[in-house]
């Protein structure tokens, strides 16, 4: 890895006007002079896209904005972000949430791990990781059991299968068949990890502390949860059948 790598951080947004300035400021404060924040906005009605544009006018070389016409899910937003990031010729691609739940300050340590692996997952559920102390026990249980289910049905040997904080070598992104990814909600995170492992790339976890959002509204819904419950087993079955057919 170069001393000053070109880092692209993809941040999908929908109604994150209150959080976006802080997350971008913390990213640009890192000792990474060639870090660029790529904001992918889904036509937010609260003006998030306009805020992103104003920040990009101030920092045109470090902030890029991709405007999508509508909110179609975090999965499609990331697919468009991955495609746009490849045009920037980065050394590393990160993905993270805009709601300040993922600590940008973990990026340097995750970068260091990429020197010996292909994908790094920011993980709540490995030694040293954790979740917000304000989480209720039902939410903790839902997250834990949800991750256990995802690992089981997806065959994913990582503790935080639903983490949206990841770092990739660019060749991993280039190898993924992006338009074949089907999940629109948080199941997308597991689907991408499944695809990386199916291609033979190594995935490791780095502990992070997950903070609960303080501003704005969560985008999680029962529809998104249901999608992950039924789509991930179908995706795994399809990959098994495809693998057997090509042997």
pTM recorded for the entire structure: 0.86
The answer to whether 36 and 64 have CB atoms below 8 angstroms apart is: yes
pLDDT digits (tens, 9 = 90+) for 54-111: 999 999 999 999 999 999 888 999 999 999 999 999 999 999 999 999 999 999 999 9
pLDDT digits (tens, 9 = 90+) for 146-157: 777 777 776 778
CATH value of 7-246 in 3.60.15.10, 3.50.50.60, 3.90.1150.10, 3.90.550.10: 3.90.550.10
| pLDDT tens, the chain, 247 aa long | 667 899 999 999 999 999 999 999 999 999 999 999 999 999 999 999 999 999 999 999 999 999 999 998 889 999 999 999 999 999 999 999 999 999 999 999 999 999 999 999 999 999 999 988 887 777 777 777 777 777 777 677 889 988 999 999 999 999 999 998 878 776 788 889 888 988 999 999 999 999 977 776 655 554 545 455 545 555 555 553 333 333 3
């Amino acid at each position: 890895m170069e001393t000053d790598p070109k880092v692209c951080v993809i941040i999908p947004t929908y109604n994150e006007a209150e959080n976006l300035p802080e997350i971008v400021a913390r990213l640009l404060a890192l000792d990474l002079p060639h870090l660029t924040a790529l904001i992918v906005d889904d036509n937010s009605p609260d003006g998030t896209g306009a805020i992103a544009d104003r920040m990009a006018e101030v920092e045109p070389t470090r902030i890029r904005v991709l405007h999508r016409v509508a909110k179609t899910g975090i999965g499609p937003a990331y697919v468009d972000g991955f495609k746009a990031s490849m045009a920037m010729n980065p050394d590393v691609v990160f993905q993270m949430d805009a709601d300040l739940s993922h600590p940008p300050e973990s990026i340097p340590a995750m970068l260091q791990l990429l020197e010996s692996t292909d994908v790094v997952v920011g993980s709540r559920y490995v030694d040293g990781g954790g979740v917000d102390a304000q989480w209720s026990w039902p939410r903790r249980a839902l997250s834990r059991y949800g991750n256990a289910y995802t690992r089981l049905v997806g065959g994913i040997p990582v503790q935080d299968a639903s983490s949206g904080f990841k770092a990739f070598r660019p060749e991993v992104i280039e190898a993924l068949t992006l338009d074949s990814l089907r999940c629109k909600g948080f199941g997308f995170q597991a689907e991408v990890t499944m695809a990386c492992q199916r291609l033979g790339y190594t995935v490791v976890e780095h502990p992070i502390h997950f903070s609960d959002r303080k501003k704005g509204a969560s985008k999680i819904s029962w529809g998104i949860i249901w999608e992950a419950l039924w789509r991930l087993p179908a995706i795994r079955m399809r990959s098994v059948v495809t693998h057997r057919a090509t042997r």
